[in-house]
Structure 1
Amino acid sequence: MSEFILETRGLSKNFKGFAAVSDVSLKVRRGSIHALIGPNGAGKTTFFNLVTKFLPPSSGTIHFKGEDITHEAPAVSARRGFVRSFQISATFPHLSVLENVRIGLQRKLGTELHFWKSEKSLSKLNDEAMALLDEVGLGRFADTTTAEMSYGRKRALEIATTLALEPELMLLDEPTQGMGQEDISRVVDLIRKVSANRTILMVEHNLSVVADLCDRITVLTRGSVLAEGSYDEVSKNPQVLEAYVGSDDMSDAHH
């Protein structure tokens, strides 16, 4: 079994002659929390969309647990345990928090069409859903309508619905975006907790979050890998500091 759960080899994406992602080879170590950072326009989102199959690459390959999954449908990859956590849009705002997690569990079972399922199987799902909500600290909000929750708690719910799919590799896109400090620290604690026994690859612009949470960091700039290493190594790299100069993230880089 390879120590790398995810590997991209020479991954590139061109839009009308513009190289948004250029020859990115990345290895994500099993059991690590790996962050992708870089100034705005560095290609982080495009790379993430390539890895999670939202965009087909112009060239290069993606390997998950040693298998080439470059041209596999996202749903097939998800069944392998390779799951992207969606922004809030993945939750149903008018359903309760518990119902949202239960839908995630039904997806895993492939029974989303069996609305006539017996009460008994639903109550089993309720127990599982409650356990997941407890895991992300939302147990007491089980009956709350999702739309009424605070932003940070919605993100925690999103993580719970992702956990329902039992991912081995969890992909988080800007998990702390738009949050105040209290929500950020809550979500950071949550990510640390759910990272036990699984691997996380995250795009994150908040460098203090990255410093606090991540084992390994890859810095992208202009679509290419500029540097990789621990936060200490990367944050002292003069090229990295230079890449952040003139971008609004630089103030974070000095913390």
Structure 2
Amino acid sequence: MTTEERGTGSAGVALEAVGLTKEFKGFVAVNNVSLKVEKGTIHALIGPNGAGKTTCFNLLTKFLQPTRGKITYAGRDITRLAPAEIARLGMVRSFQISAVFADLTVLQNVRIALQRTRGESYDFWRSEKNLTRFDDEARSYVAEVGLSEFLNHRAAELSYGRKRALEIATTLALDPKMLLLDEPMAGMAQEDVERISTLIRRIGETRTILMVEHNLSVVADLSDRITVLARGEILAEGNYAEISKNPEVIDAYIGAGHE
């Protein structure tokens, strides 16, 4: 679905980086990167191995501090904020804040995330009666990611793709306005890729998403806009039709065997 079809083309900027640079002892991993993620869109960050996309993603999600540059979220300067601080502002990185506890059920995992959003600690020793007040809301997030039939299954019993869906459910329980997904399809079988793609598309109808992803068919299917990195710099930006025809992108990325 295009940005125009989603009706979000003039909704404003959710996340913006200006002149983002990261040096490691003289090595420039990310060099003067500037990009904008529009509200209500799915924006992909791609590039060949060594392009600097992981470093860039870690800078945007505040797991690294930039050497130079500025990052704003919803118009607020977050350049020096910690990940926990930006999570409280509504920008949440999935698959790291949303840890899954293997020995707990699907319901219990989401319930724990809800405890956190209510300012409560992860108190496993609390009475079951005290915790069940979160059950209805937890069930709604479980349903949103298509795991209702696995509600009482231990997380360890789930397939890899369904564990990823559970991680997204625990992230959604944090009530984010923007999700940042780090290679959500990594290591998945094709049937799981299709399931999680459908899930991301549905979530993207009401939230902004930035994702790093290697699977170009997924990028083509989901993304409103794509930023291509190479050697730590932006090589190209646009929709899939535009970047897939760009000679520099074909030479540096698509032509390098990334199908």
Distance 1:131 1:231 in 2: 33
> Paired residues, what number?
250
Partner of 2:250: 241
Q: Any conservation in 2 of the 1:40–1:247 contact (CA below 8 Å)?
A: no
Partner of 1:173: 182
- What is the CA distance between 1:119 and its match in structure 2? 5.5
Task: Say which of 123, 130, 133 aligns to 2:132.
Answer: 123
For 1:127-206, list aligned pairs within 5 A. 127-206=136-215
SS in 2 for 1:56: coil
Partner of 2:4: none
Distance 2:17 2:206 in 1: 22
Q: TM (normalized to structure 1)? A: 0.93
Partner of 1:74: 83
How well do the aligned residues superpose, as a CA RMSD in angstroms?
A: 1.9
Q: Any conservation in 2 of the 1:88–1:155 contact (CA below 8 Å)?
A: no
For 1:11-160, list aligned pairs within 5 A. 11-86=20-95, 90-112=99-121, 122-160=131-169
Q: Any conservation in 2 of the 1:5–1:64 contact (CA below 8 Å)?
A: yes
SS in 1 for 2:63: coil
Shift of the 4–72 alpha-carbon distance from structure 1 to 2, 3 Å rule, reads: same
- What is the CA distance between 1:103 and its match in structure 2? 1.1
Shift of the 125–209 alpha-carbon distance from structure 1 to 2, 3 Å rule, reads: same
Partner of 2:217: 208
Q: Any conservation in 2 of the 1:88–1:154 contact (CA below 8 Å)?
A: no
Distance 1:243 1:233 in 2: 15
Q: Which runs of 5+ in 2 are unaligned?
A: 1-9
SS in 1 for 2:256: coil
Q: Which runs of 5+ in 1 are unaligned?
A: none
- What is the CA distance between 1:247 and its match in structure 2? 3.4
Distance 2:98 2:76 in 1: 30
- What is the CA distance between 1:248 and its match in structure 2? 3.9
Shift of the 107–181 alpha-carbon distance from structure 1 to 2, 3 Å rule, reads: same
Distance 1:127 1:169 in 2: 23
Shift of the 117–215 alpha-carbon distance from structure 1 to 2, 3 Å rule, reads: same
Q: Which amino acid aligns with 2:243?
A: V
SS in 1 for 2:196: helix
Q: Which amino acid aligns with 1:46?
A: T
Q: Any conservation in 2 of the 1:2–1:66 contact (CA below 8 Å)?
A: no
Q: Which amino acid aligns with 2:232?
A: G
| Greater mean deviation of Cα atoms: 117-126 or 153-162 | 117-126
